[in-house]
Amino acid sequence: DGGITQSPKYLFRKEGQNVTLSCEQNLNHDAMYWYRQDPGQGLRLIYYSQIVNDFQKGDIAEGYSVSREKKESFPLTVTSAQKNPTAFYLCASSKGHADTQYFGPGTRLTVL
């Protein structure tokens, strides 16, 4: 059963803590993406990776970090430097860098 998985579904953290969100895909896609969704704002690109061991900043990368050590995995770390981390985070992947993107189910992060 192919697809994109994100874990956990819900995440609660105290202010000042770093947290890591998981994203795994078994679609054999080269490109992966992280988006942040806030109510009424659509989706905004945080980071993307077109190939293993390479990634680029998106529009709102400040306070976030990523790694791409394996083709299947693209974890996102929300650091304490992110001023307003409470949001819904969506991971996506595509076969190539300009192909249709497919989305995971999302992780809702709440910082208390």
Binding site for other proteins (CB under 8 A): 4, 6, 40-45, 48, 50, 56, 88, 90, 92, 94, 97-106, 108
Q: Return d(Cα 63, Cα 112) in angstroms, integer.
A: 17
In the complex, what is the shortest distance from the CB of residue 45 to other proteins, in angstroms, rounded to a whole number? 7
CA 29 to chain centre: 15
Q: For other proteins, which is the closer residue by CB, 60 or 80? A: 60
In the complex, what is the shortest distance from the CB of residue 101 to other proteins, in angstroms, rounded to a whole number? 6
Q: For other proteins, which is the closer residue by CB, 16 or 42? A: 42
Q: Return d(Cα 29, Cα 78) in angstroms, integer.
A: 24
Give the type of residue at 110: T
In the complex, what is the shortest distance from the CB of residue 52 to other proteins, in angstroms, rounded to a whole number? 16
The answer to whether the CB of 64 falls within 8 A of the CB of 79 is yes
